[in-house]
Chain A
Amino acid sequence: MQLPPALHARLAGAPGSAEPLPVERDPAARTAPFRFAPRPVRFPREHDFFEEGDVQRHLYLQDVLMQVGGAPERPRVPEFTCQVAGCCQVFDALEDYEHHYHTLHRNVCSFCKRAFPSGHLLDTHILEWHDSLFQILAERQDMYQCLVEGCTEKFRTSRDRKEHLVMRHLYPADFRFDKPRKSRGPVMPGAAEQVLAEALGDDGVPSEGDAMEVCSEHVEPPPVPAGERRAYSHRCLARI
């Protein structure tokens, strides 16, 4: 049985569907013992009706079913170097290069050469670090924008913003993209956390791959109490 050609055309919006036939019911139709009455049916999501479909879905997720659409082959290419000035990273696969480029060269501040994971964070950084108008306005109104995409709250100080990030958005207190600007003096005592984070791949020289501070105010980092040498995972769970 072929799919009726008229069906496709009709449901795709072709005009000319006939007027509906006249409806004329006889009251004898629904008299006992007969009880049929047309009605739309709704199934709640846990209903058994959906069991078969759910099972198929989960088999698919577990890769037991044949996947639709495989990933294309990723070829190796002859070695090449990153073309960005000052970078000598070598690659033999385009995808490796793609990630490298996007991480280190894409959202780079042209003033201080710091790299950011997204355009949004870069824009925020430029505004707060390199825009003198921002500094002036910030003295009189709330200018520090929340970093979470979709949140329109603004704050008077970066410290207030950090507090908002932690309390309202459950961000970690040492969120790496909201670190205070490094002071020009010696490393502050008690800033053990910062040293650890900073030590990761950072040789202290501001270069293209430097730590991604966003906020420009100098904020005293909270000292790490001696007793709190716990695994990070535990601390976060306690907050929940």
Chain B
Amino acid sequence: MWSRQRGRLKPLCCGVEELRCRRREREAALRKARREQQLVSKRLLRDEALEEAEEGCVAMIFGEAEIQQFLQLAQRGTEEKEREGALVSLRRGLQRPETQQTFIRLEGSIRTLVGLLTSNQALLQLEAARCLHELSHSEQSAVVEACLPATSYLLTYLSGHSSDFIELCLYTLGNLIVESEAVRRQLLPQGIVPALAACIQSPHLTVLEALGYALSQLLQAKEAPEKIIPSVLGSTLPQHMLQLLQPGPKLNLGVAVEFAWCLHYIICSQVNNALLITQGALSTLGLLLLDLAGAVQRTEDAGLELFLLQKQPSLLPEGLWLLNNLTANSPSFCTSLLSLDLIEPLLHLLSVSNVVSVLVLTVLCNVAEKGPAYCQRLWPGPLLSSLLDTLAFSDTEVVGQSLELLQLLFLYQPGAAQAFLQQSGLQALQRHEEVAQLQDRVHALQQTALHG
């Protein structure tokens, strides 16, 4: 049946260097697409076992006549195996964009396909759905929009029970959704949100992952904050999403990844985060983060530097951003940071990157600005030598933030200025004396250090 063996590595048909190169190219293309707000990625579900069996048969480009033949055979063939076989051949042909174009331009083709999709022959239905899925994956809007007549049926089938079929419908819907606003303008009144809300109660992990994918595509739409997120928030979807993100033995990473992205799109749209908080979003996500940190730790050597994110440097900014928002106006969070000995791990992050360093220093400033009781707990310790290191950076934002922190320490912690002088702090400051954004603060600190 429809087995996706995505966990399996395909044999390498090109060198590692070429793979790296392709990946870099893909990354660059994605960055560019994001800047142009054209970020569209789809998921293609193909039976890899089947593909391997068919290896050596390259997908053909079919012309009108051939497509007609396949469709007629599928509709009216006498032998069931024959009818299925016709659709299988059609499906393979539809892997080619040329065949897709010919197909959609052929009169009655979609209608016939939809008819087969809704027929009472289970396996024909499945093959028809696979054909639609291939079409949904196209990069041409015309091909994707040609699938619109099928959407009411795809949604109807979400309330069915055949998990593989539902999974296929969901991935197809997800691909259609991300393609164009025209598609979404049809799917919303057709009831996609209640259909997903009913479907999320499925016990099948594959269905849940597919649902998360489709929902994430819906929430990523640019009109989502006004037109989609309010009704999602009004449904039972958020509660179920949070449940699926609970840490513990039942957590499935593939599913969790999809719903984490769904939550991200909802939350950063700032529609009604208060509602999510009342549903326990903060504690669920906090605990999940901890659980993942623990899992990362368990798989690493004892020499692991950082409590969560060393392996995923791209996650550091997010984590630190979170810490900033938690500590900015909260004496109790700042106190917790101190009493849980998290200052030293934070200091270790100062060498990762400029963005990260600024964030770390900002968090430390959040703590220090609360007054002497807090600065006392920051002192003595590695903080001073870390600051002297950051003063050696050339990035003005990093240095600027270091200067702010120094000022707070000088102000609230007796002996800080003295220690700073003793460790050649003045020399460290000197190199920034001429920098426009820094000079005023540099001079002020020099004065304070020298004269108290």
Binding site for B on A (CB under 8 A): 1-4, 6-8, 10-13, 17-26, 28-29, 32-46, 49-64, 67-74, 93-96, 98-104, 106-107, 115, 117-121, 148-151, 168-172, 175-177, 196-197, 199-202, 209-212, 229-233, 236-237, 240
Chain A residue numbers with a CB within 8 Å of B89 are none
Closest chain B residue, CB of each to CB of A28:
B411
- Residue-wise, chain B 140-156 has the 8 Å CB interface mask toward A (1 for contact) of 00000111110011001
Q: Which residues of A are found within 8 Å of B344, using beta-carbon distances?
A: 1
Residues in A whose Cβ lies below 8 Å from that of B23: 59, 64
Give Cα A95 to B165, complex, Å: 10
Do A120 and B159 contact each other (CB < 8 Å), given the known contacts A8-B290, A210-B120? yes
Instruction: Check B370 for interface membership: any CB of A closer than 8 A.
Output: yes
Collect the chain A residues with CB atoms within 8 Å of residue B268's CB.
43-45, 50
| B278 CB–A CB distance under 8 Å | no
In whole Å, how far is B384's beta carbon from the nearest beta carbon of chain A?
18
Return 8 A-B CB contacts under 8 Å, by A number.
Answer: A38-B366, A55-B30, A59-B23, A59-B27, A71-B7, A99-B126, A104-B120, A237-B182
Q: Are B189 and A21 in contact (CB under 8 A)?
A: no
Task: Decide if B345 touches A29 in the complex (CB within 8 Å).
Answer: no
A32 to B407, CA, bound (A): 11
Contacting pair A11 B122 (CB below 8 A): no
Given contacts A45-B269, A58-B30, A231-B107, A18 and B339 within 8 Å (CB-CB): yes
A-chain residues with CB within 8 Å of residue B385 when the two chains form the complex:
none
Complex Cα spacing A4 to B339, Å: 10
Are B152 and A24 touching (Cβ within 8 A)? no
Are B408 and A40 within 8 A (Cβ)?
A: no
Please indicate the chain B residues that have their CB under 8 angstroms from the CB of A115 in the complex: 120
CB contacts under 8 Å to A, within B316-350, are 317-318, 321, 324-325, 327-329, 331-332, 334-336, 338-342, 344-345, 348
Which residue of the partner chain A has the closest CB to B8?
A: A70
Q: Is the CB of B370 within 8 A of A21?
A: yes
Interface residues of B (CB under 8 A from A): 1-8, 22-23, 26-27, 30-31, 34, 37, 39, 41-44, 49, 75-76, 104-111, 114-116, 118-126, 145-149, 152-153, 156-157, 159-165, 182, 185-186, 189-191, 193-195, 197-198, 205-206, 213, 252-254, 257, 261, 264-265, 268-270, 283, 286-287, 290, 293-294, 297, 302, 304-308, 314-315, 317-318, 321, 324-325, 327-329, 331-332, 334-336, 338-342, 344-345, 348, 365-366, 369-374, 377, 401, 403-404, 407-408, 411-412, 440-441, 444
Interchain Cβ contacts within 8 Å, total number: 324
User: Top 7 nearest A-B pairs by Cβ distance?
Assistant: A70-B7, A150-B194, A95-B1, A33-B440, A209-B120, A24-B371, A118-B159
- A90 vs B401: C-alpha distance in the bound complex, in angstroms? 72
Residues of chain B lying within 8 A (CB to CB) of residue A230 = 107
Query: In the complex, which residue of chain A has the Cβ closest to the Cβ of B265?
Result: A45
What residues on B are CB-neighbors of A148 within 8 Å? 190-191, 194
Instruction: Establish whether residues B371 and A11, one from each chain, have CB atoms under 8 Å apart when the complex forms.
Output: no
Q: Most chain-A Cβ atoms within 10 A of its Cβ — which of B126, B369, B373?
A: B369
Known A-B contacts A11-B286, A36-B365, A43-B268; A71 and B145 likewise in contact (beta carbons under 8 Å) = no
Residue contact A40 to B304, C-beta cutoff 8 Å: no
Given A3-B294, A36-B369, A149-B198, answer yes or no on A201-B342 (Cβ-Cβ < 8 Å): no
Known: A34-B444, A45-B265. A1 touches B198 (CB 8 A): no
A1-B306, A33-B440, A49-B321 in contact; A149/B371 too (CB < 8 A)? no
Residue of A nearest to B268 (CB): A45
Report chain A residues within 8 Å CB of B407: 29, 34, 36
Query: Which of A53, A149, A231 is close to B106, meaning CB atoms less than 8 Å apart?
Result: A231
Bound CA–CA A50/B30 (angstroms): 13
Does the CB pair A170–B190 fall under 8 Å? yes
On whether the beta carbons of B161 and A106 are closer than 8 Å, the reply is yes
Interface pair A201/B124, CB less than 8 Å apart: yes
Known: A99-B165, A240-B182. A3 touches B286 (CB 8 A): no
Contact B257 A60 (CB under 8 A): yes
